[in-house]
Structure 1
């Protein structure tokens, strides 16, 4: 059981899309006062009935003991509030840029003497196609800026000459014209995809650190469109050669910048080395909820300690944690008509009592019933933990079988890759 905390505090959450509802809800359940503001209009209903919602977060700055920004893009205001003496969890202009400007992220990696995969930024499809024709190879298309939120546009090529990437670029040109914005072509490297994540208290990283394996495709065995995320497996560790070779090298830069929050670096690793791909300088979703399933202390206390720059050891469960999203149509696409037809206000039904390990995502609560709202169709995240990956999976899938959501779908293989990935990582000396 989670420990009950000793003192109640006032938490103000400033959310871009309402993604942090589960964290907000758990801090509320610990006996704190919580207010939630959601910026995105179509997501405004998320959280109704769960927590107290506000329409102008700025009015509650003085009221709050701590302010938590759950997304990138708030770096400037977060830094201003910190320097005025507020306890704040959230990015800085520098860490926002690490995530949102891929080129800047890559150049900062190089500046910190970390090797990166060759990549090139383009503003037109024509130039990119010409480049591939002159430099045939396997490439990945990565949208930059705001377009990178549309995860289904990321394309990982498999053709040695880059012919599949050329075909996709031509298709994007037809459908997007000049509205696509900048994008990168990155050389594709084979290996294990792995994320290294840690909390930072304004001065240094807090241990243990978190090792995450994301499952991004819609269907089992990595088939279908990229969704951003369908589920994740993870474990906590006090040391990692990948962490030492990547994030740890940013410790003094982040300290100078007075960054307080969570940062993650996604890498491809193989027998030749560690290749960082991109930063997430905020909570990861669903990463933060699965982390919560592995943290043995109240989340409210945990965030207060980080924001007040305490150095402490995170009290975590041994073993593994896994989580899988249950989603509904039109996920992973935006289609208001389909959402309203199939999914809006659909009820999340529990066969047996007990919502243990079921984390509310884009939901509202009416008469204690969980109803789907928002517009993207992410209903709940279900987590499990255990001494082995198999134990954690078993717990998660047992919990999923207790949840009924009309038209709901989820991946049945979250965590399966671990047996093969762990063998490779051991043999490369990276675990």
Structure 2
């Protein structure tokens, strides 16, 4: 089949490359100009994706913001993996996402939407507690603005808001203050074929901070562990309740709800109504059928069960400077065109991210410093973790860094989830 990929940042290279290796023809477009070298030498690239619509059997969008054109293409009879206006809004407008959950009688945490830091500061002073600062809409891509409060009286949240006021001013846009609760952070995700969720569903545990033991800046993602299952109480209490609305919307793609769960309940936090990164790379390690064919069946509305591997999948980002920051000078000095060297030939479990292929060598490109996702899959989390880090040790990338504790939380997370009857 012919697959046309429209990518926001180039994050989807591994999926494009895998589908090409399965015997399909692919073409890849990247919207962000500094990332357009990504994939060179791996897959065919195009500069005007619109010219290739007639060529494509299936068109895949990897980010929010393309819902209008995706819907138009569906109306023309094209097979599409991508968001709708409704699913885009679920992710990008946090307030809308929370209200949709409330309308479906899903228990949510108390929150308040703000348009100025002054109003938010005044609210915390009048209602002292632990809060999470959550930027909304286009600002939520700035992961460094997400702040999880630690002090009972909200004093640290007030200090952070005052700092944002000085550095961002009115550019911070509107944001939420959400009550903080403690527990296990877990995501439930599934593919949707326009009519229903496709089983099995995916249970995911993200590691968002830059350093081990959840220290440092929030990066969005440094690594993830997961497993597949046909049934799960968290799924039934959250994502499953959106099935009728997603069917009404003819959504074909992937959607995820992230929650905090504890002995008192399940508290959904936010949506990802597209592929997650590195979630899709790690999912691919656990899918036991050609993923191009799987996506074709989803886009064409077929009912089926995804063939997945038993046990656990785990993945970690290998990154280089300036990740997770934007600094073109640092990237050019330390990382641009650096070569990825393998001690011994081994491509299994290595998922290229911001790379190009020159004379058979993998070179770092783009501007963010994300090199690859390294994965492992096994019957137990410990075995999958060991395999993953063995593969990491086989990769030589100058100035690279990664977290060394992805999967360590599983033992305690499992005990608590089991105690709370959530597995």
Does 2:399 match 1:420? no
The residue that corresponds to 1:141 in the other structure is 133
- Provide the rounded CA distance (Å) in 1 between the counterparts of 2:369 and 2:121: 35
Indicate which of 190, 193, 200 corresponds to 1:201.
193
Displacement of 1:76 after TM fit?
1.3
- 278-287 vs 171-180, which deviates more? 171-180
- Provide the rounded CA distance (Å) in 2 between the counterparts of 1:192 and 1:423: 10
Displacement of 1:301 after TM fit?
0.5
Does 2:99 match 1:107? yes
- Long gaps (5+) in structure 1: 1-8
| Count of residue pairs brought into register by the alignment | 423
* Residue-by-residue CA offset, 1:262-286 (whole Å, 9 max, x unaligned): 0000000001110000000000000
Does 2:376 match 1:384? yes
The residue that corresponds to 1:150 in the other structure is 142
Displacement of 1:130 after TM fit?
0.6
Does 2:46 match 1:72? no
The residue that corresponds to 2:309 in the other structure is 317
Does 2:31 match 1:34? no
Does 2:156 match 1:164? yes
* Residue-by-residue CA offset, 1:206-241 (whole Å, 9 max, x unaligned): 000000000000000100000000000000001000
Does 2:206 match 1:214? yes
The residue that corresponds to 1:19 in the other structure is 11
The residue that corresponds to 1:4 in the other structure is none
Does 2:376 match 1:374? no
Displacement of 1:180 after TM fit?
1.2
Does 2:272 match 1:265? no
Indicate which of 359, 364, 370 corresponds to 2:356.
364
The residue that corresponds to 1:59 in the other structure is 51
The residue that corresponds to 2:387 in the other structure is 395
Does 2:130 match 1:123? no
Secondary structure at the aligned position of 1:52 is classed as coil
Secondary structure at the aligned position of 2:242 is classed as helix
- Provide the rounded CA distance (Å) in 2 between the counterparts of 1:337 and 1:179: 25
- Provide the rounded CA distance (Å) in 2 between the counterparts of 1:197 and 1:83: 26
In the TM superposition, structure 1's runs of 4+ consecutive aligned residues that sit over 3 Å from their partners are none
- Provide the rounded CA distance (Å) in 1 between the counterparts of 2:150 and 2:327: 29
* Residue-by-residue CA offset, 1:291-341 (whole Å, 9 max, x unaligned): 000000111101111111111111000000000000001100001111111
- Provide the rounded CA distance (Å) in 1 between the counterparts of 2:35 and 2:116: 32
Indicate which of 341, 344, 347 corresponds to 1:352.
344
Secondary structure at the aligned position of 2:228 is classed as strand
- Provide the rounded CA distance (Å) in 2 between the counterparts of 1:265 and 1:63: 34
- Provide the rounded CA distance (Å) in 2 between the counterparts of 1:319 and 1:250: 27
* Residue-by-residue CA offset, 1:18-41 (whole Å, 9 max, x unaligned): 010000000011111100000011
- Provide the rounded CA distance (Å) in 2 between the counterparts of 1:150 and 1:375: 16
Displacement of 1:397 after TM fit?
0.3
- Provide the rounded CA distance (Å) in 2 between the counterparts of 1:98 and 1:84: 25
Indicate which of 235, 258, 261 corresponds to 1:243.
235
- Provide the rounded CA distance (Å) in 2 between the counterparts of 1:146 and 1:268: 24
Displacement of 1:363 after TM fit?
0.7
The residue that corresponds to 1:410 in the other structure is 402
The residue that corresponds to 1:5 in the other structure is none
- Provide the rounded CA distance (Å) in 2 between the counterparts of 1:262 and 1:238: 16
Displacement of 1:252 after TM fit?
0.7
* Residue-by-residue CA offset, 1:51-92 (whole Å, 9 max, x unaligned): 000001010110000000000111111111112111100010
Indicate which of 269, 286, 293 corresponds to 2:285.
293
- Provide the rounded CA distance (Å) in 2 between the counterparts of 1:376 and 1:88: 28
The residue that corresponds to 2:244 in the other structure is 252
Secondary structure at the aligned position of 1:376 is classed as coil
Displacement of 1:124 after TM fit?
1.0
- Provide the rounded CA distance (Å) in 1 between the counterparts of 2:341 and 2:142: 30
- Long gaps (5+) in structure 2: none
Displacement of 1:395 after TM fit?
0.5
- Provide the rounded CA distance (Å) in 2 between the counterparts of 1:344 and 1:281: 31
CA RMSD in angstroms, aligned pairs only: 0.6
The residue that corresponds to 1:132 in the other structure is 124
- Provide the rounded CA distance (Å) in 2 between the counterparts of 1:225 and 1:280: 21
